[in-house]
Amino acid sequence: MTKLFRFSTGPLALSLVALLGGCASVPMMAEKPDATPPKLVQTDKKDPETGRALLDWDRPGAFGKVAGDLKAVGDGACMAARVDLEALGYHPDARNDKGEAMPGGGFYCYPKPNGDKPDAVAPRLVPAASKGADGKQVLAWDRPGAFGKVPEALQAKGDVACMLASIELEAIAYHPTAAGPDGEPLPGGGFYCFRKKVGDKPAETAPHLTRSNGGLAWDRPAAFGAVPQALQPRGDAVCANVGRTYHAIGYHPQALDEKGQPIPGGGYFCAIKPNVSRVARA
């Protein structure tokens, strides 16, 4: 069974991070952050996906070292920007490009020594510092920076695993020998989950039903958003056609059928907990 980590998506984890290029040497962080906070400023570099100007910190030397629980949080935030980054520094009063204090502070991100490859020392699931919303103990990865890039062939599987924890999550990293709480490697490895940029909203590019292992499957599970409350009964009814224990956990209004045509009424992502998922359409 492939395990995942339901990452906390509070303000701290979602603070903006700088996308840094390679440098001649690793910057040295001060023991404590400077009294004057750093600020995000535009650079002349463009995001290849959006075409927008990338942001960088105006005063990297203002950051202090990041350690303890903040290290794992910062690594996750940096990896969400680019999987080969880790948190090298932290400032509790970092400012965004408008000069406003960032809720929870900001992290200074830097390329990991292992790049986008999984680290030789595997990450392990350990009890999280805080409990879940239901008051129960949850598990978290001890070393997010140990994860590497998700292989293309495993992306859909990882996204499904993350979506079963929360529809707003997707798989951003993977480690083939990630370990469980007992320290033993998890069969199939482990995925690192993080909040999608669009949250629980459907993606602009619609998912498409494709043939897989003799059946139909969605090509991009992460494209699904939350099921609107008014459509939940219909979605559950559609998914019940797959099996009595299936229910709708995702919806996309422009989902495409196997011929590439829009499905009337949209498409639903059906799942049965804990890890079995299938597809259905309206």
Q: Is the pLDDT assigned to residue 47 strictly greater than 90?
A: no
**48 falls in which pLDDT band (50, 70, 90)?**
confident
**Same domain (yes/no): 144, 184:** yes
Task: Measure the CA–CA gap between 267 and 262, rounded to whole angstroms.
Answer: 9
The two beta strands, 209-212 and 106-111, are: unpaired
Which pLDDT belongs to residue 12? 34
Q: Is the pLDDT assigned to residue 273 strictly greater than 60?
A: no
**224 falls in which pLDDT band (50, 70, 90)?**
very high
Which pLDDT belongs to residue 216? 86
Tell me the pTM. Answer: 0.80
Where among 56, 79, 111 does a domain terminate? Answer: 111
The two beta strands, 267-272 and 40-46, are: unpaired
Which pLDDT belongs to residue 211? 87
The 3-state DSSP class for residue 70 equals helix
Which pLDDT belongs to residue 5? 39
Residues 29 and 88: beta-carbon distance below 8 Å: yes
**Same domain (yes/no): 78, 133:** no
Q: Which residue has the higher pLDDT, 220 or 277?
A: 220
Question: Has residue 202 been placed in a domain?
Answer: no
Domains identified in the chain, total number:
3
Structural domain boundaries enclosing 135: 125-195
pLDDT (average), residues 129-149: 84
Question: Has residue 117 been placed in a domain?
Answer: no
Question: Has residue 90 been placed in a domain?
Answer: yes
Tens of pLDDT, residue by residue over 85-106, are: 999 999 999 999 999 999 999 9
**Same domain (yes/no): 81, 162:** no
Where among 79, 111, 143 does a domain terminate? Answer: 111
Percentage with pLDDT > 70 across the chain: 86
